[in-house]
Amino acid sequence: MIAPHLPALIVVVPLVAGLVALFLGRGHLPWLLTLLVTWAVFALSATLLGRVLVAGAPPVEYAMGSWPAPWGIVYRVDAVNAFVLTIVSGIAAVCAVFARLSVAAEIPAERWRFFYSAWLLCLTGLLGITITGDAFNLYVLLEIASLSTYTLVALGVQKDRRALTAAFRYLILGTVGATFLLLGIGHLYMKTGTLNMVDLADRLAGLQSDRVVLTAFALIVTGLGLKVALFPLHMWLPNAYTYAPSVVTAFLAATATKVGAYMTFRFLFTVFGLRVTFDFLSADVFLIGFSCLAILVASVLAIRQNNIKRLLAYSSVAQIGYIMLGLGLHNHASVTGAVVHVFNHAVMKGGLFLALGAVVYRLGGATIGELRGLGRRMPLTAAAIVVGGMGLVGVPATAGFISKWYLVAGCLHGDAWPLAVVILVGSILALLYVWRVVEALYFAVPENPSLPVREAPLALLVPTWVLIGASLYFGLHATFTVATAKAAAVALGVGE
Amino acid sequence: MTAAITPALALAVPGLGALLVGLTGRWPKLRETVTLVTALATFAVVASLAPGVLQGERPAVDLVEEVPGIRLALVVEPLGMIYALIASFLWIFNSIYSFGYLRANREHKQTRYYTCFAVAIASALGIAFSANLFTLFLFYEALTFSTFPLVAHKETPEAIRAGRIYLGILVFTSTCLMLLAIIWTYAVTGTVDFREGGILEGKVTPAVAAVLLVLFVLGTGKAAVMPLHFWLPAAMVAPTPVSALLHAVAVVKAGVFIVLKIAVFTVGVDFISRERLGDALCWLAGGTVIVASLVALTKDNLKARLAYSTVSQLSYIVLAAVMGSRLGIVGGSLHIAMHAFGKITLFFCAGAIYTAHHLTEVSDMRGIGRVMPVTTACFLVGALSVIGLPPLGGAWSKWFLGLAALEADRIALLGVFLVSSLLNVAYLLPIAIRGFIDEPTHAVLRGGVQEAPLACVLPIVVTAAGCLVLFVYPELVFQFSNQILR
C-alpha cells in the first residue's frame, strides 16, 4: 500500500515532522523525531534508487493528488535525482546522529525545537527540489529550503554574533538568486504555457532563437549560479559556513550546494537540452571559464585562512568549480566525474565539517591555533581530518581520486588538456591548504598544553567516521558510485 | 592457491608490523624486536617468491575492483622482484643500524619512526608488485606521504621546511605530470595494465608517445632527473638511516624502477628504440649525470655530496630506460641492485662517523681512517663499487650500461658514463684515501680507535661485503635482469 506512494512520502514525512517538532517541548524529543524521520527518509530514498537503477527501468513517475501531467505536479525520478536524494537524506541521517551533543553545546535549550523544525523543513525543501518534475514547484521548495537555511545559519548566534550578519547576507543574495530563477521560470511559462519539465523540454526544442527563451535562460543560469555559489557569485558562502552551528555547516556543505548543482544539471541538460545549452548558446564557454577561476582563485584564498571552517568553505567553492567544470564539458566521462563528485564531495566535506564540529565541541573553536598538537590529544578526530583532507587533495584510495580521474579523463576526451592541468594544479593547491592543517595537527606543540583536552565522545566520533570511512570505502571500491553516476550521465542525455 | 596470495602477504607483513610497532611503542626493546622480526619475515616472504619467478611463474592477485575496468592488483615479475628483494633485504640491516643510530643520538618519537618506516617498505613493495599504472600510482603516493614524517623527523623549522620541499616536489610532479600521463594513457588505450611489449604502440603517434614518456619520466619525481631533483638534497636533513635506506634505496629506486617499468611495460622498449622516443630525455638525463657529479664535487657536507652522487647515478638508470636498448634494461636493473649496496654502505658510513664523532663535513674527516678503520675501509669499498671498479658489483652494471649505449648507437652516452665515472673517483675516493693517509686535523679525531656502536658497524660490514659478493655472483641479480624482456 505504501510502495506506490513512496516518492510522495519522501517529501511529506519530513514536512509534517517539521511542524510536529515545534510542539514536542524543550527536551530531546524533537531530536529523536528528527533522527527517526531522517533515517526513514534515507531508507525510502535508497529503495527508490534501487528501483530506478534496475537496468532498463523507466523513470518513476508520481502524480501528486492524482492530477495527471502536465496539469498537476508530477514527481519524476530517474538515476540523477534518485542518487542526489540518497546523498541528501543519507548525509542528513548521519548528521542527525551528530546533532544531539553538538546542538546542545552550541544552541540554548529553549531553541532546540526551532532548530530541529527548521532542519526538517530544510530537508523537506532540498528533497522536494530534487524529486519534483515541475519547475514552479521547484521554486516553491527552493524557498522553503532557503528560508529554513537562513534560520539555521542565524541559530549560530550564541557562539558568534556574526552569524546574524552572515545569515542576513545569505538571505539577501539567496533571495536575489531565487528571484532570478522565478523570473526565468515565469518567462518560460509565458512562452510555452507549461511548467512540467518534460513538457517544457518538448516545447522549447524548436525555440532556441526566441528572445524570451534566451532571457529566461540568462535569468535561470544567473539564479542557479548564486544558489550553487559558482565563483564569482559565491560571496555569501564563506561567512554562512563559518558562523553557522557546526552540524549545520556539515549538512549544508554536503547537501545544499549539491542540490544546486543538481538543479543546474536539470535545467541545462533536461529542460533546455544539450543542443540549446551547448551547441546553440555555447554556455560551456562561461561555465568552464568561471569553473576554472573557482578552482584556482578559491583554492588560493583557502590557503590563507586561519579559521578552518572558513578554509573548508573556500575549498567548497573550489570543489563546486570541479562539478561545474565537468558539467560544462558535457561529455560522458566529465559528467560522470561531476555526478560522482557530487557524492564524493558530499561525503568528504560532510565528514570534515563533522570532525571540526567535534573539535569545536571540545575546544570551543576551530582555528589553526586550536588545532596545534591535536594529533596526540584527539587522535581519532585528527586522523579523520587528515583522511578527509587527503580526499580533497584527491590522493589515490580516497573518493576524491575517483572524481579527479573521471574529470581529467573528461577533459582529455574533450581535447582540452589545459583544463586537465587546471584540475591537477587545483589538487596541488588543495594539498597546500590541507597540509597546513596536517602540520598543525602533528608537527606543532599545543598553544595551551596545560588545558585538558580529551578525545571527542563516541556520539560525535561515530558519525564523523561513518562519512570519512565512506570516503575511503568509495575511494577503493567505487564500482557502485561510478556505475550510478554513469547511469545518471546517460539519463542526462550524455551516453558513452 | 598459496602462491597466489604471497604478493599480497609481502605487503601485509610490513603493514601488520607497522601496526604492532605502534602498539608496542611503550617498550623500546619489544618495539625493536618487532621491527627486526617484521623485516626478516618480509624478506622471507619476498624471497619465497623468487624461485617461482625464475621458472616463469607470475603470481598475481586481484585485491579489489576500483572502478569498472581498473583493478587494484599485484603481479610479480623479474624487474619488480629485483627491487623488492633489494628493498626488503636491506631493510633488515637498516633496522639494526637504526637501533644503534637512534639510541646513540637519542632521537625522539622513535615509535613514529619505526611505524612510518614499515609503512614505507610496504608501499615500496606495493610499487614493486603493482600490476597496473593505477596500483603503482597509489603506492607511489603512499610512499611519499609515509616518508614525510621521516624526513621531517627532527621537527625543527629547518626539517619541516625540507619536508615541505620534499612533499611539494614529489606530489606536484606525480599529480601534474605522472597522473596526467596515466589518465591520458587510459583515455587512448582504454587500459592501464602493464603488458609485455607495452600498450601504446599503434594507439598513439610517436610524437604523442614521446610526450607521454617525458611526462612519465619527469612525473616520477623520485627518479630525481634535473631540474626536479632538489627534493633529494633537501631530504638529507633526515636521520641518516632514513637517508640510507629511503634516499639511496627504497624511495629513489622506486623512481627509477618505475621509469624502467613504464619503458618496458607501458611504452615498450622496441617502440622507444624504433622511433627514438627518448631523444629529449637522453639529453636531460645525460646532463643530470654530469651536472650532478660536478655539484657533488663542490659539496663539503658528506651527506649532501652523497645525495648529489645519487642524483647522478639515478640518471644512469633513467638513461638505460629511455635510450631504447634491450641491454639497457638489463644494465639498468642491475644498477638498481649494485648502486643500492654501494650507496647504502656510504650513507651508513656517514651516519657512523656522525654518531661516533659528530662530524658532517668532508674537510673535517682527514685521518678518519686511523680512528674508524673498519668504517673507512667499508667506505672505500662502497666508493669503488659506485665508481664501478672491479672487484665490486658496480663494475657489472657499468659494463652493461656501456654495452647498451653502443647497442643503442649512442656513443655520446658512453662518453657520459666514462666522464661521470672519473668524476665519481674525484669526489668519493679522496675521502677514504685522505682518511687513511692524512694526519687528523680535527680535534675529536686525535684519540685512539673509536668506532660507532656495534649495531651500526655490523650493517656496514654486511653491505660492503655485499658489494664484493655481487661482483663474484652477479647472477644473483642477473638471472632476473635477463628475464625482464622475453
How far apart, in Å, are the Cα atoms of A414 and each of A328, A419, B279?
Answer: 11, 10, 29
Measured at the CA of B123, the angle between CA B117 and CA B125, to 5 degrees, comes to 105
CA distance A312 to A359: 14
Residues of chain B in contact with residue A394, where contact means CB-CB under 8 angstroms, are 175
Q: Which of A343, A432, A439 to mutate to test the interface with B (most CBs of B within 10 A)?
A: A439
In a domain, B353, yes or no: yes
Quick one: which of A303, A300, A259 has its CA closest to A437?
A: A303
pLDDT (tens digit, 9 = 90+) per residue, B285-310?
A: 999 999 999 999 999 988 899 999 99
pLDDT (tens digit, 9 = 90+) per residue, A191-233?
A: 888 888 888 888 888 787 888 888 999 999 999 999 999 888 8
Residues of chain B in contact with residue A404, where contact means CB-CB under 8 angstroms, are 179
- Name residue, grid cell 560551456: A284
* C-beta of residue A367 within 8 angstroms of C-beta of residue A271: no
CA distance A421 to chain B (A): 7
How far apart, in Å, are the Cα atoms of B43 and each of A256, A425, B76, B91, B341?
Answer: 52, 39, 15, 8, 16
Predicted ipTM beyond 0.90: no
* Residue from the list A443, A477, A478 with its beta carbon closest to the beta carbon of B152: A443
Residue B63 three-state SS: strand
* Residue from the list A408, A417, A443 with its beta carbon closest to the beta carbon of B155: A443
B63 φ, ψ (degrees, to nearest 5) = -90, -50
CA distance B65 to chain A (A): 6
Indicate yes or no: CB of B67 within 8 angstroms of CB of A482.
yes
The number of residues in chain B equals 486
In a domain, B486, yes or no: no
Residues of chain B in contact with residue A424, where contact means CB-CB under 8 angstroms, are 175-176, 179-180
| Four-CA torsion B265, B266, B271, B273, nearest 10 degrees | -70
pLDDT (tens digit, 9 = 90+) per residue, A306-333?
A: 999 999 999 999 999 999 999 999 899 9
Indicate yes or no: CB of B175 within 8 angstroms of CB of A421.
no
Q: Which three cell numbers stand for residue A272?
A: 533546455
* C-beta of residue B239 within 8 angstroms of C-beta of residue B107: yes
Residues of chain A in contact with residue B72, where contact means CB-CB under 8 angstroms, are 476
Indicate yes or no: CB of B187 within 8 angstroms of CB of A477.
no
- Residue B211, C-beta contacts closer than 8 angstroms, at least 6 positions apart: none
- Written as tens digits, the pLDDT of chain A (496 aa) is 567 888 889 999 999 999 998 888 888 898 999 999 999 999 999 999 988 888 777 888 888 888 887 788 889 888 899 999 999 999 999 999 999 998 888 888 888 889 999 999 999 999 999 999 899 999 999 999 999 999 999 998 888 889 899 999 999 999 999 999 999 999 999 988 888 888 888 888 878 788 888 899 999 999 999 999 988 888 889 989 999 999 999 999 999 989 999 999 999 998 888 888 788 888 888 899 999 999 999 999 999 899 999 999 999 999 999 999 999 998 999 999 999 999 999 999 999 999 999 999 988 888 888 888 888 888 899 999 999 999 999 898 899 999 999 999 999 988 888 999 999 999 999 999 999 999 888 888 887 777 778 888 998 999 999 999 999 999 888 888 998 999 889 888 888 7
Residue B69 three-state SS: coil
CA distance B324 to B206: 14
Quick one: which of B33, B75, B104 has its CA closest to B355?
A: B104
Q: What is the domain extent for residue B269?
A: 2-481
Residues of chain A in contact with residue B142, where contact means CB-CB under 8 angstroms, are 396-397
DSSP character for B363? G
* C-beta of residue A240 within 8 angstroms of C-beta of residue A460: no
CA distance B87 to B122: 10
β-bridge mates for residue A76, sequence order: A61
Nearest CA in chain B to A429: B172
Q: How far is CA B179 from the centre of its chain?
A: 21
Residues of chain B in contact with residue A435, where contact means CB-CB under 8 angstroms, are 164, 167
Domain ranges of chain A: 283-496
CA quadruple B419, B422, B426, B429: dihedral sign: positive
pTM of this structure: 0.91
Q: Which three cell numbers stand for residue B477?
A: 641479480
Nearest CA in chain B to A399: B66
Confidence band for B3, pLDDT divided at 50, 70 and 90: low
Confidence band for B408, pLDDT divided at 50, 70 and 90: confident
In a domain, B35, yes or no: yes
Q: Which of B65, B67, B113 to mutate to test the interface with A (most CBs of A within 10 A)?
A: B67
CA distance A460 to A101: 7
* C-beta of residue A230 within 8 angstroms of C-beta of residue A59: no
B204 φ, ψ (degrees, to nearest 5) = -135, 160
DSSP character for B447? S
Q: How far is CA B4 from the centre of its chain?
A: 27
Quick one: which of B163, B188, B329, B168 has its CA closest to B246?
A: B163
Q: How many CB atoms lie within 10 A of CB A476?
A: 18
Indicate yes or no: CB of A428 within 8 angstroms of CB of B134.
no
CB pairs below 8 Å between A and B: how many? Answer: 68
Q: How far is CA A175 from the centre of its chain?
A: 18
CA distance A395 to chain B (A): 7
E strands present in B16-172: 60-67, 70-75
Indicate yes or no: CB of A396 within 8 angstroms of CB of B137.
yes
CA distance B157 to chain A (A): 10
**Residue burial A176-215, b: 16+ Cβ < 10 Å; e: rest:** ebbebbbbbbbbbeebbebbbbbbbbebbeebbeeeebbb
User: Domain count of chain B?
Assistant: 1
Indicate yes or no: CB of A402 within 8 angstroms of CB of B172.
no
Q: How many CB atoms lie within 10 A of CB A55?
A: 5
Q: How far is CA B468 from the centre of its chain?
A: 19
Confidence band for B111, pLDDT divided at 50, 70 and 90: confident
Residues of chain B in contact with residue A482, where contact means CB-CB under 8 angstroms, are 67-68
Helices (H), B438-474: 454-472
pLDDT (tens digit, 9 = 90+) per residue, B169-179?
A: 999 999 899 99
B25, exposed or middle or buried, with CB in 10 Å at 0-12, 13-18, 19+? middle
CA distance A407 to chain B (A): 10
Nearest CA in chain A to B112: A442
Indicate yes or no: CB of A395 within 8 angstroms of CB of B145.
yes
* C-beta of residue A68 within 8 angstroms of C-beta of residue A196: no
Average pLDDT, chain B: 88
pLDDT of residue A1: 57
Helix A379-393 / helix A332-363 crossing angle, nearest 10 deg: 160
